[in-house]
Amino acid sequence: MLNQELELSLNMAFARAREHRHEFMTVEHLLLALLSNPAAREALEACTV
């Protein structure tokens, strides 16, 4: 079972890929979705990503 925030981020990434008519969801879509999640953004910033 996925954490609700992770599931939301994955759904956002898939939606972004569909919006741009991309055939696949890529790590770039996932990164953009994670950056819109405050907790994920904080974790990425702490890792200097």
User: Exposure pattern of 13-43 as b/e (b: 16+ CB <10 Å)?
Assistant: bbebbeeeeeeebeeebbeebbeebeebeee
- Contact present, 5 and 22 (Cβ < 8 Å): no
- CA atoms of 12 and 47, how far apart (whole Å): 22
Question: What pLDDT is recorded for position 49?
Answer: 77
- pTM, rounded to two decimals: 0.80
> In a structure prediction context, what are the per-residue pLDDT tens digits for the chain, which is 49 residues long?
568 988 999 999 999 999 999 999 999 999 999 999 998 899 999 998 7
Question: What pLDDT is recorded for position 2?
Answer: 66
